[in-house]
Structure 1
Amino acid sequence: MSKEQKYTKGFVTSKDGTTIGYRQMGSGPGLILLHGGISSSQYFMKLGAALSDEFTVYIPDRRGRGLSGAFGDNYGLQREVEDLDAILKKTDAHYLFGGSSGGLIALQASITLSSIKKIVTYEPLVYVNKSEMDKFNEIVQRFEKQLAEGDVITAMITAMDVNSEVDPDQKSPLANHLPSIILKPIFSHVLASDEKNIKGDDVTLKDLMPTLKYDIQLVNETEGKLQKFKKVQSEILLLNGSKSPLFLKNSTEALNKVLPHTTHKELPGLNHDSAQNYGKPEIIAKEIKHFLE
């Protein structure tokens, strides 16, 4: 994170008593950014900075990460909606951006929370295709087993190649050309460098990896419930990247068919990680600004 990306911190208490912390920057109408899996508020700092000239930006650490409390009992979409509701009430924000599972939470919240006026989502994943989700869940189970056994590096390789196993056309260039004996020292260096350079309220990648199962739990919760998204009240901008896996595009297309107040746009050259610091957040910020105007 660059030094110029200054922020203050705020905290709310969710319905079940869990503390939810967030980073705040900028001025103007309130806009909440919800991160996805294996992520936290730190990964949306460049996106937040690009939006902070027009909005007061709030970037929560979703529960189980960073500034926020533990996942707690009975975790699921309802808990995430309650967390978001607490932030909405404190900040009086009416706009949301959600990436991946963060987008799913934003859509779910809009079914019951009328204070949300507009939502921009980037590749929200819902349960659409059983075959794809069976593969996805099998990979996550393997990933979790590797973490439990302390084999963090192998788990990283598994997570990196999840897209290609669900969608064979999306084979990672690294996984396609480099054997495990070379990949392992590369990822070992990545973890060591990440831990060495962590600062302030940031969370290490190693500590974020175990949170993946909770995000997949949210997706699995939508099995057979796609039609419920017809009740979403907000205006929606549904974004996806042209270089993202087919199963994510299938999710976007399925949502586009049921959401009642939706504009859909595919962004050329972008992939699933493009909203994050290491992607192309300035392109997504431009789309957010245009829609919220």
Structure 2
Amino acid sequence: MSDIEHAHTTSADGTPIAYFRRGSGPALVVTHGSIATKEQWLPASEALAEHVTLYVHDRRGRGGSGDTADYSLDTEVADIAAMMAVAGPGAHLLGHSFGALATLAYARRHGLSGGTLIAYEPPLAVQGPVAGERLAGYRELVDAGDLDGALEYALVNFVRVPAEAIPFIRETPLWGASVPLTPTWVRELGEIDALGDDLLGYAEIHDPTHLIAGTATTSFLYQSAHDLAGIIPGAGITDIDGADHFAHLSDPAGFARVVVDALQPARAQS
């Protein structure tokens, strides 16, 4: 097992960003999704660290990172820019869920300077708004302090997990770790819906790009990945058979193999 080094960097607005470094080889910056912290990526990082040097940060507003009242997708892009500076020229970039939207925005604005972009199930409005009018109900639960109820509401209404699956998810470690982070999802859902349903702007991305989707994931997440693969020039895509939105947790070693193959196209084609 490789050693984990913990450190901080500073975003453009002065916000401290906590991250861990692990492994050896080419640099890979990982940007996690909503209601998560960098610790969610520890299982996958163990397998990935055999191939790359990982830089996994806490997105602002959680874990060891700071926060500000002023928030937008632009602040997420600035935080990624700070991490890419730490990782150095040619670093690769991987984003999951909302983190994938943030990495896509970074690629559109800055480019990767030789690295590969990997986006794992970005939640785009390909089947109507992701939150829409239902965001008000979620905000009310958060404001009332019913964070447990807010998580259930969000999984059913936004991630579109079948209601009958909720009791099983409640029994997983993911539930307890996610509940305290539900307030940060309010602002992120607003940013998702503000992006709208026009995906053509993603054709501006000219870095090597690879999308990942699970065949057992939610319909709109699967479609988001496949629609983007058809829009971003030269993009590739890998479907993980039987996987849902959390393949990096349910099968970290298998997920790591998909990422490593995406970073080595010749190997993936052999």
Structure-1-length-normalised TM-score: 0.81
Please give the per-residue CA displacement for 1:50-90, whole angstroms capped at 9, x wherever unaligned: 110111101000111111111431x2221111111111112
Distance in 2 of aligned mates of 1:27 and 1:98: 20
Answer with 1 or 2: which has the greater Rg.
Answer: 1
Is residue 68 of structure 2 the alignment partner of residue 78 of structure 1? no
Question: How many positions carry a matched residue from both structures?
Answer: 261
Equivalent runs, 1:166-185 vs 2, <5 Å = 171-175=162-166
CA, structure 1 residues 243+30, in 2 after alignment: closer, same or farther (shift >3 Å)? Answer: same
**Could you tell me which residue of structure 2 aligns to residue 290 of structure 1?**
261
Kept after mapping to 1: 8 A contact 2:19/2:38: yes
Aligned residue number for residue 263 of structure 1: 236
CA drift of 1:190 comes to 7.4
Q: Equivalences for 1:30-45 in 2 at 5 Å?
A: 30-45=27-42
CA-atom RMSD in angstroms: 2.4
- 1:281 paired with 2:252, answer yes
Matched, 1:162 2:157: yes
- 1:18-61 Cα distance to aligned partner (Å, 9 max, x none): 11111111111110111001111010111111110111101000
Q: Secondary structure at the match of 1:159?
A: helix
Give the whole-Å Cα distance in 2 for the aligned partners of 1:117 and 1:152. Answer: 38
Q: Structure 1 CA distance, aligned partners of 2:18 and 2:258?
A: 26
Cα 1:280–1:190 shift into 2, 3 Å: closer
**Residue matched to 2:201:** 228
- Tell me the equivalent position of 1:142: 137
TM-superposed deviation, 1:5? 6.9
Q: Which of 99, 115, 119 is equivalent to 1:117?
A: 115
The TM-score with structure 2 as length reference comes to 0.87
* Alignment CA distance shift 1:244-1:224 (3 Å): closer
Q: Which residue of 2 aligns with 1:66?
A: 63
The residue matched to 1:290 in structure 2 has which SS?
Answer: helix
CA distance 1:88–1:153, shift in 2 (3 Å)? closer
Deviation at 1:253, TM superposition (A): 2.6
Q: Distance between the aligned counterparts of 2:261 and 2:72, measured in 1?
A: 32
Partner of 1:252: 225
Amino acid at match of 1:173: E
**Identity between Structure 1 and Structure 2 (%):** 26
Query: Pick from 141, 146, 152: which aligns with 1:151?
Result: 146
The residue type equivalent to 1:54 in the other structure is H
Among 14, 18, 22, the alignment partner of 1:17 is 14
1:129 equivalent to 2:127? Answer yes
Alignment-derived partner of residue 267 in structure 2: none
User: Which stretch of the first structure deviates more once superposed, 219-228 or 116-125?
Assistant: 219-228
